[in-house]
């Protein structure tokens, strides 16, 4: 046990250094990057598919799709009109900065305003690995239950944006929204939150407006 802690710290520090390099690349080109995390089935890819038509073609969007295997998600977002790169982790339960760095090499960064990274579906590992994006976004589905902030506090504590997805199912599932929000507030009071449905489009306009605002701020920010 005494040897494990230094090894874990070394891995984290190395990842953070590479994440810093990724951030510098994005900053240098005025690209706003978001890291979208969630459990499997919460709706990460559906959110991206719903988001892209609302942003294209006025914003140029690149997507990095992370998954353990297959390129199904990259095919879906490519069909929606975005430049997409698939990362297959081969079993690793999260993306790491070096994976994202290699994927950036495959994207036309000079022609991108917004970078969306879809992390591997997992509510544990992704919170520990910075990627170099500007905002961490967590998608929580009401179908998952209202206990997730209590069961996965680290994930909820470390995000900048929370999306509560599938709100169209609220009449049909046992989900206590006040209890859920109390759990979130105890960990991350004031987190930017959007309640929406990727299936119906309810609430999606506020989310896409937030993305547009962030991209606009990156365009006007002084070069670093």
pLDDT band at 70 (very low <50, low <70, confident <90, very high): low
pLDDT band at 158 (very low <50, low <70, confident <90, very high): confident
Tell me the pLDDT band of 1, cut-offs 50, 70 and 90: very low
CATH number at residue 115: 3.40.50.300
Q: How many residues does the chain have?
A: 224
What is the C-alpha R_g of the chain?
17
Kindly state the percentage of the chain with pLDDT values over 70: 92
pLDDT tens, 103-130?
A: 999 999 999 999 999 999 899 888 889 9
Least confident of 37-41, 75-79, 183-187: 75-79
Q: What is the mean pLDDT of residues 200-218?
A: 96
Which residue segment(s) compose the domain that 187 sits in? 4-220
Q: Rounded mean pLDDT of 130-141?
A: 97
Instruction: Identify the pLDDT of residue 2.
Output: 46
Tokens 């979130």, residue located: 184
Mean pLDDT, rounded, for 168-194: 98
Q: What is the pLDDT of residue 9?
A: 66
Instruction: Count up the domains in the chain and report the number.
Output: 1
Residue 91: the pLDDT is: 67
What is the pLDDT of the chain when averaged over all its residues? Answer: 91
- For residues 145 and 1, the model is more confident at 145
Using a pLDDT cut of 90, give the percent of the chain over it: 75
Q: What's this model's pTM, rounded to 2 decimal places?
A: 0.90
């Amino acid at each position: 046990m005494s040897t494990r802690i230094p090894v874990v710290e070394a891995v984290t520090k190395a990842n953070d250094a590479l994440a810093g390099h990724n951030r510098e690349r994005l900053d240098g080109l005025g690209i706003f990057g978001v890291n979208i995390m969630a459990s499997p089935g919460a709706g990460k890819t559906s959110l991206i598919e719903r988001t892209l038509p609302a942003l294209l073609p006025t914003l140029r969007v690149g997507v990095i799709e992370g998954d353990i295997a297959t390129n199904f998600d990259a095919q879906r977002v490519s069909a929606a009109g975005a430049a997409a790169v698939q990362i297959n982790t081969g079993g690793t339960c999260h993306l790491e900065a070096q994976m994202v760095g290699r994927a950036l090499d495959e994207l036309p960064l000079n022609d991108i305003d917004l970078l969306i990274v879809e992390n591997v579906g997992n509510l544990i590992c992704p919170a520990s690995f910075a990627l170099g994006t500007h905002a961490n976004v967590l998608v929580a589905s009401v179908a998952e239950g209202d206990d997730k902030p209590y069961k996965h506090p680290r994930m909820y504590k470390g995000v900048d944006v929370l999306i509560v997805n599938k709100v169209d199912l609220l009449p049909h599932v046992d989900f206590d929204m006040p209890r859920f929000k109390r759990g979130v507030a105890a960990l991350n009071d004031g987190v930017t939150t959007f309640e929406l449905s990727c299936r119906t489009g309810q609430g999606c306009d506020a989310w896409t407006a937030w993305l547009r605002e962030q991209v606009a701020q990156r365009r006007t920010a002084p070069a670093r």
